[in-house]
Amino acid sequence: MDKTERYPLTEREPFSESLLWRWQSQYFAKRSIDAWRQREVPYYVTSNPTISNSYARVVWAFWQERQQYRGEATTSQLTICELGAGSGTFAFHFIRRLIHLCEDSGVPPISVFRYVLSDVVAENLNWWRKHPRFSSWFEAGLLDIAHFDVTKDDEITLQVSEQLLGIGALHEPLVVIANYLFDSIPQDLYRLSKGRLERCLLSLSVYAPTCLDEAQCFVNADYSYDYEPVIDTQLYTDSDLAALVALYKESLTETNVLVPAVGWRCLKRLSKLSTAGMMMLAADKGTTTLASLEQQPLPEIQYHGSISLPVNIHALRWLAEKNGGICFVPEDTYMDLVVFVLLQTPQPMDYIETRMAYKYHLQESRPDDFYHVSKSLRQTIDQMSVRDILAYLRLSHYDSQQLVFYLPRLTASAPSLTPSERIALCEAIDRVWDSYFPMGEDIDLAYHLGCLLYEMDAYNQALQYFKRSVEHYAWTTGTAYNMALCHLFLGHNKIAKSLLLTTLKYDPANSQARELLAKISP
């Protein structure tokens, strides 16, 4: 076969209608939770305990102001809907934090919020429904799930409570969470040159197309662009989008510009579900000012299992403000991740505490700052003391993914722990586990925590984690042997002997188990 030969797949499709987006949908449908479990899709920076805590603080401030705004003694529940919720990791951390804020204030969580996990992939909904971390929240009415397609759906059907959220169904503002959403859904693409507006058309070709799955197609495809002149007044029936394009045609000279038309239409449909409007919290990579849209090349398509594009956050901000809303965005433009809030409610400027919460928790202390600091700290792990690591774990809100990097250092330090360090580390391990959202990843966190606790001579606590390892992963002879060691040091010789016999039954060549058994046998 001539490997230089290309096989055309599509020719001159409008960018937002390209085969790319069909591949995108097929990829997520096929991979489901494995896209996150195998870390094909980046998600940590928008799904860790730190950013979840910050979002919860903003929503809590918003809820408190809603009570003042309503001027009633009774509380009113917010519906919080996460779009494209994927693995559910963000929701887990966010709900935990918002529950703590409610309880610390003496307010029943159910009177404050219910959280709706939504996605277009049905298998993701099945995963959430069965996840043990979510079960108590389903039972309490704090959590629900919904199949929702951001490209077309105009109502939300809750599958647990069997409630339909249609136009005007809510009387408190709908709170929308949209992390890494707009960069993963179709966007329109135009070229502006010397006062002319042109639609970008995409043609795709690949080698041997029948041999490629969606992820391979993304990487191996050839992308070629053509352009066709368009009349801006005939592009959109939506007057807001038409006005936006007119603004760009008037203000920009030479550039390529993405227009998040699909995302904006989705937000307009969602805002109709409540008589009180909507608040959206979102995180994405993209541009926030009109000036930054000038002299832009064709957008870089990033590949990570799926694809993603930069987001024209300026467009979403402008459209929201045109419709009487406001947008909180970072003041500086140098950032890898833009976290912004759209507030489309009556009198949005009245929400001063919400604005201040955003400024303090999401602007002055940015989530991507935490991400960069965490990466930098990992370069000095071999120099860090146990006290240093404990301080960092507290600052990370006991982030399990951060602890994994420090396990070798902590294990090496275990023999020299002071009594106070040992107590503090045991407590920190339990708090890390409480904030851990298991997805069946390659690393068995419970097993590794059990091994660390064994090295710390915390045998009872180590046994708990070895049992959790069996619960979340599987029984192995290695786990059984480690449990035998713990029981032996606790003086439970009979249990230890039974575990060693079981180990040898399935692993007769295990010399360590055989030698240990010989020492404790009468």
Tell me the domain boundaries of the chain: 7-26+186-257, 33-185+264-363, 371-520
Which pTM does this prediction carry?
0.94
Mean pLDDT of 296-314: 93
Residue 185 confidence (pLDDT): 97
Structure tokens at 493: 């010789």
pLDDT at site 215: 63
pLDDT for res 427:
98
Closest CA to 279 of 327, 332, 216: 327
Check whether 356 has a pLDDT greater than 60: yes
Cα–Cα dist 260/262, whole Å: 6
pLDDT band at residue 8, thresholds of 50, 70 and 90? confident
The residues, any chain, with a CB within 8 Å of residue 284's CB and separated by 6 or more, are 178, 179, 180, 181, 182, 183, 311, 313, 337, 338
Is the pLDDT assigned to residue 21 strictly greater than 70?
A: yes
pLDDT band at 374 (very low <50, low <70, confident <90, very high): confident
Q: Which residue has the higher pLDDT, 5 or 222?
A: 222
Token pair of 337, please?
Answer: 């991740």
The predicted structure's pLDDT at residue 521 = 65
Return mean pLDDT, the chain: 92
Domain 33-185+264-363, architecture per CATH = 3-Layer(aba) Sandwich (3.40)
The answer on pLDDT for 1 being more than 50 is no
If 0-12 CB within 10 Å is exposed, 13-18 middle and 19+ buried, where does residue 229 land? exposed
According to DSSP H, which parts of 71-155 are helical?
A: 89-104, 109-112, 122-130, 135-140
Q: Which two tokens stand for residue 435?
A: 């904030």
CA atoms within 13 A on the CB side of 465: 26
Q: List, as own/partner pairs, every contact residues 140-144 make where C-beta atoms lie below 8 angstroms and the sequence separation is at least 24, other chains included.
A: 140/109, 140/110, 141/110, 141/114, 142/95, 142/99, 142/109, 142/110, 142/113, 142/114, 142/115, 143/91, 143/95, 143/114, 143/115, 143/116, 143/117, 144/114, 144/115, 144/116, 144/117
CATH topology of domain 371-520: 1.25.40
Helix (H/G/I), strand (E/B), else coil: 325: coil
pLDDT band at 469 (very low <50, low <70, confident <90, very high): very high
What mean pLDDT is predicted for residues 426-436? 97
At 328 the three-state DSSP class reads strand
- Mean pLDDT confidence for 179-187: 97
186-239: per-residue pLDDT in tens? 999 999 998 899 999 999 988 765 556 666 777 778 889 999 998 877 789 999
| Burial class of residue 5, CB neighbours in 10 A (0-12, 13-18, 19+) | exposed
Amino acid code (one letter) for 479: T
- Let me know the angle formed at the C-alpha of 276 by 272 and 278, rounded to the nearest 5 degrees: 65
What is the model's pLDDT at position 333?
63
> Which residue has better confidence, 80 or 9?
80
Taking residues 92-103, report their average pLDDT.
98
Let me know how many helices (H) and strands (E) the chain has, helices first. 21, 18
Residue 14 and residue 225: Cα distance in Å, rounded?
10
Check residue 221 and give its pLDDT.
82
Mean pLDDT of 415-427: 96
Check residue 366 and give its pLDDT: 82
Q: How large is the average pLDDT for residues 68-77?
A: 70
Q: Residue range 290-307: average pLDDT?
A: 92
Give the mean pLDDT of 114-143. 97
Residue 334: per-residue pLDDT? 63
Q: Cα separation of 379 and 365, whole Å?
A: 22
pLDDT greater than 80 at residue 6: no
Please answer whether residues 52 and 98 qualify as being in contact, where contact means their C-beta atoms are separated by less than 8 angstroms. no
pLDDT reading at 88 higher than 70: yes
Q: Looking at residue 368, what is its pLDDT?
A: 79
pLDDT band at 462 (very low <50, low <70, confident <90, very high): very high
497-521: pLDDT as tens digits: 999 999 999 999 999 989 999 888 6
Q: 461 and 429 in contact (C-beta within 8 Å)?
A: yes
Residue count (the chain)? 522
CA 292/CA 354 separation, integer angstroms: 27
* For range 55-74, the mean pLDDT: 85
